[in-house]
Amino acid sequence: MMDVFFMERDPYAPIRHCYPVENVLYHGKSQYQEITVLESPYFGRVLVLDGVAQCDEKFEFIYHEFMAHVPLYAHPNPETVLIIGGGDGGVLREVLKHPEVKRAVLVDIDKEVIEVSKRFLPTIACAFDDPRVIVLNEDGYKYIQDYENEFDVIIVDSTDPVGFAHVLTTEEFFKYVYRALKEDGIYVGQTESIYYHMEIVRRIQKTLRKIFPIVDLYTAVIPGYAGYWWTMSVGSKKYQVREPSREVKVQTKLYSEEMHKHAFLPKGFYEKILSDDYKF
Ligand code: SAM
């Protein structure tokens, strides 16, 4: 038996994760990216886009629970939710656990990511048939320009900010997000890691502060993402987001009211790392 490994090609990380590979279940190229699903003994099935691991069966719940439940519980009545990206379906699965949600629109530019996830990651891509779901395959940057006062929560679950995903972290995009949210709406986006990607975190946070009255940053430790200490940036029009505004009732593995509060960085440390002079 030969030992076979997959080494990530993460565009921003100073380190490369290397997964032992038992089996390659799918490998193909869509119009937008290279898509691979491999099987690794410890992690289970891993979805890889353009050489970067997006989620694995063992730990996907961490990222997906925190991306969905923090904004949805910060909002008192999230009825209409937009997910940009998220083609693996993990954030969608968590969003739909909230009975308050009447409509969840998922806009992923790449139809093939959704198809491959439904085929090979059935425990993650398990909510696409829910009648509350609308799936569209277009660029989220273009889609959002047509909406005003429409969504309670917007979650941007995109690939790293390179290529066609880069626009999803620009000032223009955040202005469209602000306009597309209702008057008390909340935005959340994945914004890379504290240790390896502080310049990206800082740039996005500063841009959000130009647009939203309330901006915050929370984190989750995600074993499959380079840098591990992963950030999620929030822009809120009305509500403080550091605590759930409703009783937490969803079934989760990690998210809870206590974990919601703990996910936010202490305010002193948060302000300190946003200063350009702060270096690790
Ligand atoms: N949780 C993952 C991570 O951070 O590694 C992201 C997972 S999800 C599969 C990312 C999705 O974002 C991909 O399917 C990709 O097609 C989509 N995406 C990237 N840029 C996009 C854009 N401009 N509009 C819509 N979807 C986009």
Domains of the chain, by residue range, sit at: 5-54, 60-273
pLDDT tens digits for 133-162?
Answer: 999 999 999 999 999 999 999 999 999 888
Neighbours of 73 (CB within 10 A): 22
Please give the CATH number for the structural domain made up of 5-54: 2.30.140.10
**Which residue from 158, 168, 172 has its CB within 8 A of the most atoms of ligand 1, so it is best to mutate?**
158
Quick one: pLDDT at residue 1?
Answer: 62
Helix orientation angle between 171-180 and 198-211, rounded to the nearest 10 degrees: 50
Q: What is the mean pLDDT of residues 110-128?
A: 98
Identify the weakest region by mean pLDDT among 2-16, 47-61, 94-108: 2-16
Q: Which residue has the higher pLDDT, 160 or 34?
A: 34
Across-strand partners of 229? 221
Ligand 1 centroid, distance to 2 Cα (angstroms): 33
pLDDT at 280 over 70: yes
Q: Is 117 helix (H, G, I), strand (E, B) or coil?
A: helix
CA distance 229 to 91: 19
Q: Answer yes or no: are the C-beta atoms of 109 and 89 closer than 8 Å.
A: no
Q: Which residue's CA is the closest to the ligand 1 atom numbered 10? A: 158
Closest by CA to 92, choosing from 133, 63, 51, is 133
The CATH code belonging to domain 60-273 is 3.40.50.150
Question: Ligand 1: which atom is nearest the Cα of residue 165?
Answer: 20
The answer to whether domain 5-54 and domain 60-273 are alike in fold is: no
- Distance, CA of 96 to CA of 93 (rounded, Å): 5
Calpha distance 142→139 (Å, rounded): 5
Please state, in angstroms and rounded to a whole number, the distance separating the CA atoms of residues 250 and 41: 30
Instruction: Tell which wins on pLDDT, 181 or 279.
Output: 181
pTM of the full predicted structure?
A: 0.98
Identify the pLDDT of residue 51. 96
